[in-house]
Structures are given as C-alpha cells and as structure tokens.
Structure 1
Amino acid sequence: MRQRTAMLVVMLLVLLGLNGCQSPATVSELRGTGDLGLVIERATGSVLVVETTGNSVLGRIEGLGDLSHASVVYSRDGRYGYVFGRDGGLTKVDLLTRSIEDRVIQSGNSIGGAISQDGRYVAVSNYEPGGVKVFDSETLELVADVPATYTNAQGETARSKTVGLVDAPGNRFVFSLFDANEIWTLDVAGDTPDVTRYDAGKAPYDALITPDGRFYIAGLFGEDGLSMLDLWQPEAGAIDILPGYGKGEQQLPVYKMPHLEGWAIAGGRAFVPAVGHHQVLVADMNDWSLMERIPVQGQPVFVMASPDNRQIWVSFAHPRNDVVQVIDARTREIIRTLEPGKAVLHMEFTPRGERVWISARDSNRVTVYDTRTLEPVASFSAEKPSGIFFTSRAHSLGL
C-alpha cells in the first residue's frame, strides 16, 4: 500500500510538472475560428487573417498568386480557407497557423469555386480550359474533371467558360455555361459524379442560389431577364424571370457587371441591382414580378441584406464607387449615404450583423461600421483590399 501511494505521488508530481512546462504563449494561442476571416490583398497575392471580435488584423499569408478576382470558401470547422485565384491557383490556408497548407495550379484561368454540403469536396469553376474540377478538401487531390463541352454553331465540339458555381443541397454543385447557354447540376453524393444539363437563356454571366437552396438564378448577358432553375423540381427545366432586367438596351455604359451573389433576399422580396441603371429593383419572390424601382446614386454592384434583413447595403460601379448607400428594407427608402474610401469593392457582415466591413481598394483601407448607428468604429490598412470573407460562410449555402 505504501509503495502504491508513493507511485501515485510521483505520477501527480510529474503531471503537475508537465502542466507547468506549458508556456503562456501556447495557452494564449488556443482559440476558436468563429470570429475569423480573410481579406484579399489583390495587388500583392496575399491575404490578411482578421478577427471580428476586436476588429483587428492577426497576420498576413503571402504567396497566393494572382488574386485580381479571388474568392474564398471554408472548411466545416472554419479553420481552413480555400482561396480561388484568377491564375487557376487553388490554395488551402490555415487561419490558425496563418500559413499555406497546400496549393495547386489546376487551370489556366479560373473564376471562383464552392465547397460541398458535407465539406468533402472543393469545386473550381474555370474559364480556360472551360469546365469544373473537383478536389478532395483534405488533400487537394483531383476527384473529378468535368469538361464543359457543347456543340457550337459550326457543329463542332467546343468547351465553354463556366460561371456562377455554387453548392446546393444534396451534395450537388450548380453552374452555368456562358458560351453554351446552359445550366448544369453536378451530383457528387455517389461514387461517380453525375451531370444533368438544362437549357438557359443567352450567355449566363453569373449566378446565385437563394439562402434556402431552392432557386438557382443566372443573370443573362445576351438578353433581357434571368434564367431560374427550381432545384426542388429541376425536371421542369429553367424558366425566364424578370424580363427587362438583363443587359438589353442600356441607357448608360456598364462599367462593372453586378455580382449576383450580392442579391438581397429579405421579407419575401429580392432586391436586385439594375444593370446599366441607377436603380435597385424589388421583385416579389412569389411570382418574380417587378414591384418597385428604388433610385440610387450610381450603378449598383453589390446589393446585400443585413443578417436581420432590416437593411440593404448597396455599393457601386465606377465612377461613383466611393459611396455606399443604406436602404431601409421596410420603407425602401435610403437612410444614409456613407463614404468608406476610394473604389469600394466588397462588403461583409459579421455573423450576427452588428458590424459590416467595407474594403476600399484605392484608399488601401478596410473600414468597420456599426449597423445600428451607421458610424465607423474601426479601420486598418491593407494592400489594395478587395474581397472580405468571414468563416461564418462555412455554415451557409451558396457562399
């Protein structure tokens, strides 16, 4: 008994000694990822790792290639970000160690990507060569190569640029073929990826999926209106909605096409940036009829709803791209005009919507606003900042 007691005392002392050997730095670095995010520095091929609790920059990750049109999706736990670069680079970064975990050059020109519902696969949408590639999210090993082939007007087999790639319920991806005038679904739930094709309008250039994952909507560059696929009943095919919305005959030159991901869905209404007009359109989502036109100060690019759907924040194309306007979703009136800096490129709400972060490329600055007071509460320097992506996107469809 005495010997056993002595052994227990020795083991306790060893455990206490090991615990005492942990440095304060190691303990202080333990943290969750729920308030983290990445800010794209497009001119330097780098990203800033940021946290939204204290509105601060934690560090910089370099060596990500051409980020002139970059986007990010996240692993389920929010630790890893997958950065899609314009040069075809797919880079997996670790937000906690602030380092590159892995990187592959998977095409000559890519335009974005998505992560599957179960987090197992990362898909990339490519211009050159046209198609979608799917990778294992853990290893970045190629799982599937889906060429976007079609028959062109000359009767030849060609490959189309792919755009508007989003994740959808049922472990599917949905994307559009710009040159083929089609929408494809890619089912990765089984052992073999399965593709289904649908006819769409002329030249779909971007797309979104509604927050509930039901409707996939593609903007059309070649005709008025949009194409919509109901993923609850895809056998019905894509239908035309909002005639008159698309490119069509423009009264004003279009300096930058709107990003459809920035559509605001609030209170049964869709707030849509009007191409080539100084307007935000309001559509009734019951029948997709046009309800109202809200005059704004320029051509809108992003039209985004706050998480509580009470506010609609609007950014603009050149030359009046140093302004953001805030619309009350209930009254549909502009309640504030803000000036975050020169060349505003992106906005991102914190998960519960108490703050919104805005990047101003030509001011080399990110400004944080309080969404209640509409006043700036913080700002920091960044090298030509563009996209802002918080880890809360890991738990939302289509982001």
Structure 2
Amino acid sequence: MAERRTRNWDGYLIGALVGVVIALGVWAFADWASTTPEEVSTTIAADGAADGVAFTGTVTGRPAAEYYLDSCAGCHGTDRRGATGPALLPERLSQPDEYYTDVITNGKPGTVMPPWGHQLSPEDVTTLVAFIRSDTGEGPPQWTLEDIVASHEVLTPESELPASPTHSGAVDNLMLITEREAQSIAVVDGDTHTLLGKIDASYRAHGYTFSPTDERWAYNMGRDGWVFKIDLYSLQPVAKVRIGLDSRSVAMSDDGKYLIAGNYVPATAVILDAETLQPLKVLQTTAANPEGEIIESRVATILDTAPDLVGPYFLVALKEAGQVWRIDWSQPDFPVTAVSNVGHILHDGFLSQDNRFFYLAAQTDNWMAAIDVTEMKVVERIETGATPHPGSGATWEADGTSYAATVHAGEGKVTIWDLDGNQIVGAVETPGPGLFIRSSEHSPYVWADSVFAEEPHFVTVLEKAPPFEIVGTIEDGVRTLHPEFTADGAFVYVSDWDGNVVRVYDAERLELVAEIPDIVTPTGIFNSSRRSETLGH
C-alpha cells in the first residue's frame, strides 16, 4: 500500500464557473418520517428518461437543456430557480432579449458571470435566450440504479494490460490535465514536462482521484456523469459507468475499495466498487435546508478522511440543503451521520492537517464553515469574503503555526486564517476574483489564480508567513487558472484556457521554464502524487 502522508498538506480541485443515522443533536428525527437515506437509497425514483424540458433548440450542437445543465446550472440551478446566480425563469426575465444576449456574450462585470461569446456563436446565444424564456417543464431528468447498471462497460480487459508502464514518465509524478472541450485528458511527465499522450474521456472531465493502494489506477468523472477507471501504465481507460446526468465530485476510500461520486442531476450520491465500477449503493440526497424545507439537493464537494487520523469516512456536502453527510465506508450498509445548517449554497472544501476539521465554502453566506468531523458540529463560521471558492484549498505550516486560505469568486482577495483558533490573520489583494489556490510542503510560496479578473491572466504568488507578502505575479497568457505543483514541489503548472497551452514555472524563482502546446482548452491539472493526500473534488 502506498504510504499515506498526513497530506501533502501545504496544498490542497475545479469548481463550476461561475450539502442516515441523523446525529444532529436536537434534530427531530420524526420529521423525516419515511425518508431516511437507507430507505430512499435503494433506487432513484422516476423512470430514468433524460428528456429534460420540451425545448428543441441546440447550443454548440447539443440540446439546449443539456448545455444549460452542464454550463449554467452550477450557478443558476438545475431547475433555473437560482443559486449563486439569479433565477432564470420566464416570469423573472423582465428585460428585452438584447439585454440577456449582451450578458451571455460579454459577461457581467463585478459578478462571477463570465463572457461566453468566445465559445458560443451568435446563434447559440440566441437559442440560450429562447431557452431561458421557455417553460421549465416537469423537473430535472432522472437516472435510476437500473440505468447505472446498464451503462457499465469494460473497455479493455485488465488481463490484457501491461505489467509495467509503457511510457517514460514517472507514475508518481504525472500531470493529468483536463482538455475541457476535447473530451480528453492530456498526460504530462512532471519530471521532463513532456507530453506523454492523451486519454479519451467524456464531456468536460472534472473530478479526479487516485488509488492510494495501487499506483497504476486513476479515476476521472466528466460533468456528464461518466466515471472512468484509468490505467496510468498504458494511459487508457479500462472501464466506465454513468452514475448520473450532471455530476461534479468523486473521492476514493483509503483502502482503495470504494469510490463515491456525487450528482447535480439527479440529486444523488453513488457508491461504487472501485475494482469493477459496479454500483453498490445509491443515496438520494433529499434533506432539510437551513429553513427546514425538505428538498432535493445537488452534491457539492466529497472528501475522504484518513482512517489513521479520523474515520474511515466520506464527507458529502449537500449544496442547497446546507448539510454535510458523514458516511462510514467501513460498514457494509454505509451508515450516514449528518450535520445541518452549515450554510447556503455549499461548494468546495478541504480538511485540516489532522483531518479533524472540514472547511467548507457557504458561498451565498460569504463564509467558510469549520466542521468538527468527529463531533459532527459546526464550530466556526469564518467570514472570509464574497463567494469563497477554495477549490482544493491550501493548508501549510510556517514558524510553528498552521494556516489555511481561500480565494473568492466574488472579489480579488486571498483570505488566510490560523487552524488553531479559526481566526482570520491575513488578507491579500489580488488582481481579481479567482477559483483556485494551491501550495506544497516543498515550496515556500502559495499560488492563487484570478481567472475572473477583468484581465484574467494573473496568478499571485505569496509568502507563507505573516504578513503574507506578495513575492511575484505571473502575467503570461490569456485566461489562466488552476496552478498545480509537481510531486517534489519544484515546479508549478498553470493552464491557459484560451491559449491552448500549459506553462511550467520554477516554483521558487517564478521563472517560466517550459511551455506545453497543443493542449486543447486546458483547465484542471492534477498531479498523481495526490494519491497520498486526503482529497475529494
């Protein structure tokens, strides 16, 4: 078994553009009546048809409803009733079509609404405007347990795989790079910065996790719900299964036996056998929101704790419900314990170095909730700034003190707090709103993007110790994001989404050392050394 570090804790996934034995103390279990996770998890209600709304237009060659679910629902809600972004319902859209055409094409300065004109034709934008003016239909489509089972496919029998790597790269230092619009994953050797090959994936490969017990296996999930088991020796997928229709998060148990993946549509989390990708359990994420209403909730981030520290648990954040579910994956029935009223519109999160605390963004509350994973209670709400979006987050030690930090999708700021008292100890202004922040125990600096800035090509590099001074700003490129360290912390990779290139920088001198061209719309970058961290996405 690969040795588990207490994380590569100086760093710690991609958000959308842009939360049972119910152990809640005073929670009245009777309110749930017959809707415990055990009872609702045997299947997903409905007939499994992915009909969407009765709108026939297409956007980039795809049904408009499908495009909306993938590209717009993260902020505006799967039912178009709003989340971090406003509701897009016919009765709410009081402006003429020209107004919405301009907003979609050019974005909305001062908000997290990005411009889409660089990837949508005028005809596509016109169709989207017509779509948001259309009736929402009967609700989001469904995807049943039977659909999941039927979708399973073996692509390459494992008996035919090579016994050792067929490429020259170091398996413990591979950079897996999402080619967002190419349905592909580029694989680069983190030692030599050489492109080794590309792996077929599904639409907008989103979540990554790596087996902690076998270096050859990685797992990826696309936003369209397809989960792939990937062989890092031969750089090919060996099996796939579709767990939902619009999906975001995936994590793996520390013993390498189980995967868990979360959906936006339908509102479910699915536990899979990691060896075969066969589904073991489906949990319908129906829960009470902070106002006490029972709702179907999208799944935000999912993490796995290290059993030698805390656990063994999966942590599942329910976006609209504002709950976190703790799933004990060591028990055959996967029992669930929940904490409620964490916040509104939960998103990304990360763990403290000892795994005791789960730090989770409540985006419309503008805070990071600190959850005691053992006690399952909220111990602090850290008001960090407008729309926190930590991605994988960043935690590190400096001069005997442990720190954590997040960037914000609503303002250009890195907020830093100490992990002992959960008090803010620093704030660093950046060129604009960002999505991702990352660091490494092997590097003295923290890197943060500003992908939502007016000029979205800045990466801010700051010191780990107070007063957290900025040591440099990377300005190369067109639209840059998602800094990721190599396994040894010597280099940082940065995607240039619109430039179709990934740049490599010396992590200490901040000098450009390589460019890797012909990477199509690169976004998320994930180093294979993450297998020794406690990660989710």
The two structures have a TM-score, normalised by structure 1, of 0.84
8 Å CA contact 2:385–2:411 kept in 1: the answer is no
| Cα 1:292/1:390, change in 2 over 3 Å | closer
- Pairwise CA distance, 1:95: 1.8
- Alignment equivalent of 2:223, drawn from 83, 86, 91: 86
Partner of residue 301, structure 1: 435
Pair member with larger Rg: 1
Q: Secondary structure at the match of 2:498?
A: helix
8 Å CA contact 1:118–1:171 kept in 2: the answer is no
* 2:343 paired with 1:207: no
* 2:515 paired with 1:379: yes
Deviation digits for residues 1-43 of structure 1 (CA, Å, limit 9, x no counterpart)? xxxxxxxxxxxxxxxxxxxxxxxxx997587511223111011
Partner of residue 85, structure 2: none
| Cα 1:360/1:31, change in 2 over 3 Å | closer
Partner of residue 364, structure 1: 500
Partner of residue 242, structure 1: 382
- Pairwise CA distance, 1:239: 2.9
Q: Which runs of 5+ in 1 are unaligned?
A: 1-25, 248-256
Q: Larger deviation: 372-381 or 306-315?
A: 306-315
Instruction: Work out the CA distance in 1 between the residues paired with 2:443 and 2:329.
Output: 33
8 Å CA contact 1:245–1:275 kept in 2: the answer is no
Instruction: Work out the CA distance in 2 between the residues paired with 1:246 and 1:186.
Output: 30
8 Å CA contact 1:368–1:378 kept in 2: the answer is yes
| Cα 1:55/1:269, change in 2 over 3 Å | same
* 2:461 paired with 1:329: no
- Pairwise CA distance, 1:139: 0.5
| Cα 1:133/1:202, change in 2 over 3 Å | same
Partner of residue 332, structure 2: 191
- Pairwise CA distance, 1:100: 1.4
Q: Secondary structure at the match of 1:288?
A: coil
Partner of residue 14, structure 1: none
| Cα 1:75/1:351, change in 2 over 3 Å | same
Question: How many residues of Structure 1 are paired with residues of Structure 2 in the alignment?
Answer: 361
| Cα 1:179/1:78, change in 2 over 3 Å | same
| Cα 1:193/1:293, change in 2 over 3 Å | same
Partner of residue 321, structure 2: 180
Q: Aligned-residue CA RMSD in angstroms? A: 2.3
Higher relative contact order (CA 8 A, sep 6+): 2
Instruction: Work out the CA distance in 1 between the residues paired with 2:386 and 2:316.
Output: 18
Moved over 4 A (4+): 26-32, 151-157
1:327 aligned partner, one-letter code: L
Q: Secondary structure at the match of 2:172?
A: coil
2:392 aligned partner, one-letter code: E
* 2:183 paired with 1:45: yes
* 2:236 paired with 1:70: no
| Cα 1:325/1:190, change in 2 over 3 Å | same
- Pairwise CA distance, 1:226: 2.5
1:262 aligned partner, one-letter code: G
Q: Secondary structure at the match of 1:392?
A: helix
| Cα 1:123/1:340, change in 2 over 3 Å | farther
Q: Which runs of 5+ in 2 are unaligned?
A: 1-163
Q: How does 1:15-164 map to 2 (within 5 A)?
A: 33-62=171-200, 64-67=201-204, 70-76=206-212, 77-151=214-288, 157-164=294-301
Percent same amino acid at aligned positions? 26
Instruction: Work out the CA distance in 1 between the residues paired with 2:397 and 2:426.
Output: 14
| Cα 1:335/1:186, change in 2 over 3 Å | same
Partner of residue 13, structure 1: none
Instruction: Work out the CA distance in 2 between the residues paired with 1:152 and 1:232.
Output: 22
- Alignment equivalent of 1:276, drawn from 376, 401, 410: 410
- Pairwise CA distance, 1:244: 5.4
Instruction: Work out the CA distance in 2 between the residues paired with 1:397 and 1:202.
Output: 25
8 Å CA contact 2:175–2:189 kept in 1: the answer is yes
1:130 aligned partner, one-letter code: A
| Cα 1:80/1:37, change in 2 over 3 Å | farther
1:227 aligned partner, one-letter code: A
Deviation digits for residues 166-221 of structure 1 (CA, Å, limit 9, x no counterpart)? 11133311011112121110111022101001111222122222243221111112
8 Å CA contact 1:211–1:398 kept in 2: the answer is no
2:253 aligned partner, one-letter code: S
2:281 aligned partner, one-letter code: A
Instruction: Work out the CA distance in 2 between the residues paired with 1:40 and 1:280.
Output: 25
Instruction: Work out the CA distance in 2 between the residues paired with 1:38 and 1:280.
Output: 26
* 2:531 paired with 1:394: yes
